[in-house]
Protein backbone atom coordinates (compact mmCIF):
# COMPACT_ATOMS: atom_id res chain seq x y z
CA UNK A 1 0.00 0.00 0.00
CA UNK A 2 2.58 2.42 -1.17
CA UNK A 3 2.37 5.49 -3.32
CA UNK A 4 -0.12 8.31 -3.22
CA UNK A 5 -2.83 8.12 -0.61
CA UNK A 6 -6.24 7.91 -2.20
CA UNK A 7 -9.22 8.97 -0.12
CA UNK A 8 -12.05 8.00 -2.45
CA UNK A 9 -14.20 5.34 -0.80
CA UNK A 10 -14.99 2.19 -2.75
CA UNK A 11 -18.00 0.02 -2.18
CA UNK A 12 -20.22 -1.63 -1.69
CA UNK A 13 -18.51 -4.83 -2.81
CA UNK A 14 -20.33 -8.13 -3.12
CA UNK A 15 -18.98 -11.54 -2.18
CA UNK A 16 -17.66 -12.16 -5.72
CA UNK A 17 -15.35 -9.16 -5.42
CA UNK A 18 -14.33 -10.30 -1.93
CA UNK A 19 -13.44 -13.73 -3.38
CA UNK A 20 -11.36 -12.04 -6.09
CA UNK A 21 -9.29 -10.44 -3.31
CA UNK A 22 -9.03 -13.45 -0.97
CA UNK A 23 -8.22 -17.12 -1.57
CA UNK A 24 -10.59 -18.21 1.23
CA UNK A 25 -13.69 -20.25 0.40
CA UNK A 26 -16.42 -21.97 2.41
CA UNK A 27 -16.21 -22.72 5.28
CA UNK A 28 -13.32 -20.32 5.93
CA UNK A 29 -14.51 -17.27 4.00
CA UNK A 30 -15.74 -14.99 6.79
CA UNK A 31 -16.55 -11.82 4.82
CA UNK A 32 -19.94 -11.59 3.11
CA UNK A 33 -19.68 -8.07 1.73
CA UNK A 34 -17.81 -4.81 1.99
CA UNK A 35 -19.84 -1.73 2.87
CA UNK A 36 -17.01 0.72 2.15
CA UNK A 37 -13.28 0.76 1.63
CA UNK A 38 -10.95 3.75 1.64
CA UNK A 39 -7.72 2.57 -0.04
CA UNK A 40 -4.69 2.60 2.24
CA UNK A 41 -6.85 3.66 5.19
CA UNK A 42 -9.88 1.62 6.28
CA UNK A 43 -12.56 -0.92 5.50
CA UNK A 44 -16.05 -1.67 6.81
CA UNK A 45 -17.06 -5.25 6.06
CA UNK A 46 -19.94 -7.48 7.14
CA UNK A 47 -20.13 -11.09 8.31
CA UNK A 48 -23.69 -12.40 8.51
CA UNK A 49 -23.52 -15.04 11.24
CA UNK A 50 -25.83 -17.92 10.39
CA UNK A 51 -26.95 -20.80 12.60
CA UNK A 52 -25.72 -23.07 9.77
CA UNK A 53 -22.04 -22.17 10.35
CA UNK A 54 -20.13 -25.46 10.80
CA UNK A 55 -18.36 -24.31 13.99
CA UNK A 56 -21.69 -23.98 15.85
CA UNK A 57 -22.03 -27.79 15.86
CA UNK A 58 -19.35 -27.96 18.53
CA UNK A 59 -19.05 -24.40 19.91
CA UNK A 60 -21.37 -24.84 21.78
CA UNK A 61 -24.30 -27.10 20.83
CA UNK A 62 -26.58 -25.81 23.62
CA UNK A 63 -25.47 -22.15 23.35
CA UNK A 64 -23.92 -21.41 19.95
CA UNK A 65 -21.21 -18.74 20.14
CA UNK A 66 -18.80 -17.78 17.35
CA UNK A 67 -15.24 -18.65 18.45
CA UNK A 68 -13.14 -15.59 19.24
CA UNK A 69 -10.32 -16.78 17.01
CA UNK A 70 -12.75 -16.75 14.05
CA UNK A 71 -13.84 -13.21 14.89
CA UNK A 72 -10.18 -12.16 14.74
CA UNK A 73 -9.83 -14.13 11.48
CA UNK A 74 -12.80 -12.22 10.04
CA UNK A 75 -11.09 -8.91 10.94
CA UNK A 76 -7.88 -10.17 9.34
CA UNK A 77 -9.75 -11.15 6.18
CA UNK A 78 -11.23 -7.65 6.03
CA UNK A 79 -7.67 -6.30 6.34
CA UNK A 80 -6.66 -8.65 3.52
CA UNK A 81 -9.35 -7.22 1.26
CA UNK A 82 -8.24 -3.71 2.21
CA UNK A 83 -4.60 -4.49 1.38
CA UNK A 84 -5.32 -6.30 -1.89
CA UNK A 85 -7.77 -3.64 -3.13
CA UNK A 86 -5.43 -0.81 -2.09
CA UNK A 87 -2.56 -2.37 -4.03
CA UNK A 88 -4.80 -3.48 -6.92
CA UNK A 89 -3.73 -7.11 -6.52
CA UNK A 90 -7.12 -8.82 -6.93
CA UNK A 91 -6.90 -12.00 -9.04
CA UNK A 92 -3.06 -11.91 -9.01
CA UNK A 93 -2.66 -14.89 -6.69
CA UNK A 94 -0.90 -12.84 -4.02
CA UNK A 95 -1.68 -13.96 -0.48
CA UNK A 96 -2.01 -11.99 2.75
CA UNK A 97 -0.43 -13.86 5.66
CA UNK A 98 -1.10 -13.22 9.35
CA UNK A 99 2.18 -12.42 11.13
CA UNK A 100 1.04 -11.44 14.62
CA UNK A 101 -1.98 -10.66 16.78
CA UNK A 102 -1.81 -8.32 19.77
CA UNK A 103 -4.25 -7.05 22.34
CA UNK A 104 -7.13 -9.32 21.35
CA UNK A 105 -10.09 -8.68 23.64
CA UNK A 106 -13.54 -10.21 23.51
CA UNK A 107 -16.38 -8.19 24.98
CA UNK A 108 -19.67 -9.65 23.75
CA UNK A 109 -20.67 -13.09 22.47
CA UNK A 110 -21.45 -13.35 18.76
CA UNK A 111 -24.46 -15.58 18.23
CA UNK A 112 -26.41 -16.89 15.22
CA UNK A 113 -28.49 -14.20 13.57
CA UNK A 114 -25.99 -11.41 14.27
CA UNK A 115 -24.59 -9.05 11.68
CA UNK A 116 -20.95 -8.61 12.62
CA UNK A 117 -19.66 -5.21 11.50
CA UNK A 118 -15.91 -5.36 10.94
CA UNK A 119 -14.03 -2.06 11.06
CA UNK A 120 -10.32 -2.22 10.25
CA UNK A 121 -7.82 0.62 9.86
CA UNK A 122 -4.23 0.66 8.64
CA UNK A 123 -2.02 1.89 11.48
CA UNK A 124 1.35 1.43 9.80
CA UNK A 125 2.37 0.69 6.23
CA UNK A 126 5.76 -0.64 5.22
CA UNK A 127 5.01 -1.83 1.70
CA UNK A 128 4.40 -5.58 1.88
CA UNK A 129 4.03 -5.53 5.68
CA UNK A 130 1.19 -3.60 7.30
CA UNK A 131 -0.17 -3.15 10.80
CA UNK A 132 -3.90 -2.95 11.38
CA UNK A 133 -6.31 -2.18 14.18
CA UNK A 134 -9.68 -3.91 14.07
CA UNK A 135 -13.01 -3.82 15.86
CA UNK A 136 -15.89 -6.23 15.49
CA UNK A 137 -19.18 -4.58 16.38
CA UNK A 138 -22.72 -5.81 17.02
CA UNK A 139 -24.63 -2.64 16.24
CA UNK A 140 -23.10 -0.08 18.60
CA UNK A 141 -21.76 -2.77 20.98
CA UNK A 142 -18.09 -3.84 20.85
CA UNK A 143 -17.79 -7.62 20.39
CA UNK A 144 -14.02 -7.88 19.90
CA UNK A 145 -10.91 -5.87 19.09
CA UNK A 146 -7.32 -6.63 18.14
CA UNK A 147 -4.23 -5.25 16.50
CA UNK A 148 -2.47 -7.43 13.97
CA UNK A 149 0.27 -7.50 11.38
CA UNK A 150 0.02 -9.06 7.93
CA UNK A 151 2.39 -9.61 5.01
CA UNK A 152 1.57 -9.73 1.30
CA UNK A 153 3.50 -12.40 -0.53
CA UNK A 154 3.51 -14.82 -3.42
CA UNK A 155 2.01 -18.23 -2.69
CA UNK A 156 4.49 -20.96 -1.71
CA UNK A 157 6.14 -22.84 -4.57
CA UNK A 158 5.14 -26.49 -4.97
Assess if residue 5 is contained within a domain: no
Q: pLDDT, tens digit, for every residue of 34-65? A: 999 999 999 999 999 999 999 999 999 899 99
What CATH number is attached to the domain comprising 133? 3.10.129.10
For the chain, the domain total comes to: 1
Print the domain residue range for 24.
15-153
Rounded mean pLDDT of 2-26?
Answer: 80
Return the pLDDT at 7: 57
- Is 44 catalytic? The answer is no
Of the pLDDT bands very low, low, confident and very high (cuts 50, 70, 90), residue 2 is very low
- DSSP codes of every residue in 100-132: EEEEEEE-S---TT-EEEEEEEEEEEETTEEEE
pLDDT in tens, 64-81: 999 999 999 999 999 999
Q: Does pLDDT of 138 surpass 80?
A: yes
Q: What is the pLDDT of residue 33?
A: 97
Amino acid sequence: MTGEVETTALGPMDVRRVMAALPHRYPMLLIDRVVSLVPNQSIHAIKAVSVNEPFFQGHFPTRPIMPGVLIVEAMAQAAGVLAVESMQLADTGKLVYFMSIDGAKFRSPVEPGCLLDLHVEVTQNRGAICKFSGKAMLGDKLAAEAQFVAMISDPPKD
